[in-house]
Structure 1
């Protein structure tokens, strides 16, 4: 294909929207290349439902080749940029290196798990940012409940059916709510020792659940969690994680085999290699999403610090809602830089938030209207169906089946613990033998380890804010593979 060469790095909310919009605008007059480690766009907001068996994994994985006609997909993970030569260097899934030349570059590499300097967390916890992690959590929780029902020692039984979720943002809250329903359903068919029940705890140093949301919706979510049986502890977090439990900041030790890490995200370390100014690890751009001094380079989504024109002096938070909208603005401005249309600054209007609390419970404030209960549940699911760029019928069918049939609580054994380390840069890429933890599929040197960036925004997901914080984790149990 002839025409200007446009390279988009990353197919998350921002990158996918950029590619889709540019493909429609270019009408095959531009060479659009999308570089991504996988061949699908992951709809993160529904990942907790995959972890508890409501949705099958492929429902939240939207095919890039099937939904982006006119866009060339290159499988690989970027590990270097040469802005003077206008090239992107990447490693493909088989470890071979390649180079892409561009006339316009869009950096939409997203974010990775945010680690805090808490002893034991990196070793004994996992994140919740990809399909491998969701599948592993489902197996792990199922296994712990099955082992607990056969456990003779009451203390070991209690530890196996205790699940700790750290981070009361969008993802952590949903994981705790759905997880409690999932384990309660399991013990109805296989009772635990007398007087024991699955115990889920949601911890956060914040003063309330869902601090990103309106206080009324925060109270609604808190009430729904407690009604479901989740122990909500605000102002409390993990001080140290051990192989047999966690020590809390209030001094209590909780015996557990499961630690779900949902405390937030940090920008992908790739942006540091640009050598341009950063704001808390995010690449600083102007209101048109262009990198100052590099008019041919654009950035959007979690990797970009985009000025918030509605709040002068501040930057837009790292949420899926912003990433999705910024992707469209980036596409329009890339086209304008090539002489098609006029560029425009990124300015947003808050559409509100939705959060699924399992069953018929949810909390939402579409366009500022606070909702709760079944009405909020219907709005939440309707929003997701409208927002998903594909697989809508399959998702709706899974929801219908889940409402009339019991879930299948079985272990699939597809993902091992070693394949989903918390510090991995790309949770979508299962680590293979011989590949160092935290390295993506090429040479270990292409993704150096970086210290976590303290990002006050709570993480990946929005509008369904992206998992604000997003995640899941577990402490390996005895006999746990």
Structure 2
């Protein structure tokens, strides 16, 4: 709001009063409000790109950003994982003006453009929006759940899982995706005396990556002594949601003898979209949010979806291809009546597979070629400059 002096034509130079003029786009009262449902990996990045342009309200079941990435580090080195993947919202410099609601979404009124929330303290409330971003992700194992948790509960779970694996003499990892391979490698690196076995249903893991990636990863697994068991498809117990580390025998649909292990980590890719709060007409047959190539919900120009919850392509690759910047631009373009850009999904996965290792970090391109950050560069270069400042636009150091 700007205040101008008003002069009288009958009194040259004489000021008779003032008037306040609100300029479109400059006053916060005129700014659009975007509600971001879910503040995981995709939600936080989308909020970062929107902050400063619109009013952002984030709704999260966690009191901080708790990433679903790097399960192996989370299990084997929880302190290292928490330093980089568990960050209070107020530490993100770009989110200084964002209001967060700690709770779970229970419904949406499409006509009134309003979501319903049950807070962590049990109270209920609503949040109105001009645009709604659905970024509630999926449930996948114990490391990606939509349950409301406090900081203490998150910390207790980290320590409990770490202690359970640390006490096991034999660890069986079930699954053939990035999460399973990442877990097997990091457990073997942290506890070289453990017996670590990786069971997967196909001829090789990482089927959605270029074959070169598996060739490099296989050599590392061999050096670490991880036993590989191809063509093993596990029998999942009735009603079991793969949301905890178990013990005891694992049975196989493929006919092999039962497998005994002290700790069994289920990373079989069985995911459930966190969309129970949404009307069925917004969802596909599997419960994921239907979207156009512009990441907009069909027939709902005020609704968008991103990340694992969005039915963009078979790999749901908007979660991993930095679609957050595109989505933020499309939301602003939608408000201004400008054309929206298309999201172009990749047909293969790329990026890191194993996370930071003692010899550095390897990033794989879509063609399977690897680029390495040497170990010496991780803390002084990669984390502060490329990750915290480049990707997240600045993260403050934690309070002492």
Q: TM-score with structure 2 length normalisation?
A: 0.75
Q: State the distance in 2 between where 1:280 and 1:180 align.
A: 35
In structure 2, do the counterparts of structure 1 residues 261 and 394 end up closer, same or farther at CA, with 3 Å as the change threshold?
Answer: farther
CA spacing shift, 1:320–1:334, aligned 2, 3 Å: closer
- The answer to which of 83-92 and 49-58 deviates more is 49-58
- Aligned partners of 1:300 and 1:327 also within 8 Å: yes
Q: Note the alpha carbon deviations across 1:145-178, whole angstroms, 9 max, x for none.
A: xxxxxxxxxxxxxxx4111111121121111111
User: Paired residues, what number?
Assistant: 340
For CA contacts below 8 A with separation 6 or more, give which structure has more relative contact order: 1
What CA distance in whole angstroms lies between the structure 2 residues aligned with 1:21 and 1:258? 41
Aligned residue number for residue 171 of structure 1: 179
Alignment of 1:6-405 (within 5 A): 6-24=34-52, 26=53, 30-53=54-77, 55=80, 57-67=82-92, 68-113=95-140, 127-129=142-144, 133-142=157-166, 144=167, 160-184=168-192, 197-239=193-235, 244-249=248-253, 250-264=255-269, 265-270=271-276, 272-278=278-284, 280-306=286-312, 314=313, 317-318=316-317, 320-322=319-321, 325-339=322-336, 342-347=339-344, 352-356=350-354, 358-360=357-359, 363-366=362-365, 368=367, 370-371=369-370, 375=372, 386-388=386-388, 389=392
Bigger mean CA offset, 126-135 vs 261-270: 126-135
Per the alignment, do residues 204 and 394 of structure 1 end up closer, same or farther by CA in structure 2, a change over 3 Å counting? farther
Describe the SS at the equivalent of 1:55.
helix
Structure 1 residues 243 and 162: CA distance shift in structure 2, 3 A: closer
Structure index of larger Rg: 2
Q: Distance in 2 between matches of 1:380 and 1:268?
A: 37
Distance change (3 Å), C-alpha of 1:182 and 1:105:
same
- For structure 2, the 5+ residue unaligned runs are 1-27, 146-153, 238-245
CA contact (8 A) 1:221 1:363 kept: no
Equivalent pair of 1:364/1:380 in contact (CA under 8 Å): no
Unaligned runs of 5+ in 1: 114-125, 145-159, 185-196, 307-313, 396-481
- Say what the alpha-carbon RMSD is for the aligned residues: 3.1
Q: TM-score, length-normalised on structure 1? A: 0.63
Change beyond 3 A, Cα 1:291–1:369: closer
Match of 1:421 in 2: none
Distance 1:48 1:203 in 2: 16
Contact 1:220 1:363 in 2 (8 A): no
- State the alpha-carbon separation in 2 of the partners of residues 259 and 85 from structure 1: 47
Aligned equivalents of 1:346 and 1:240: distance in 2? 35
* Contact 1:62–1:390 under 8 Å retained in 2: no
Change (3 A) 1:391 1:128: farther
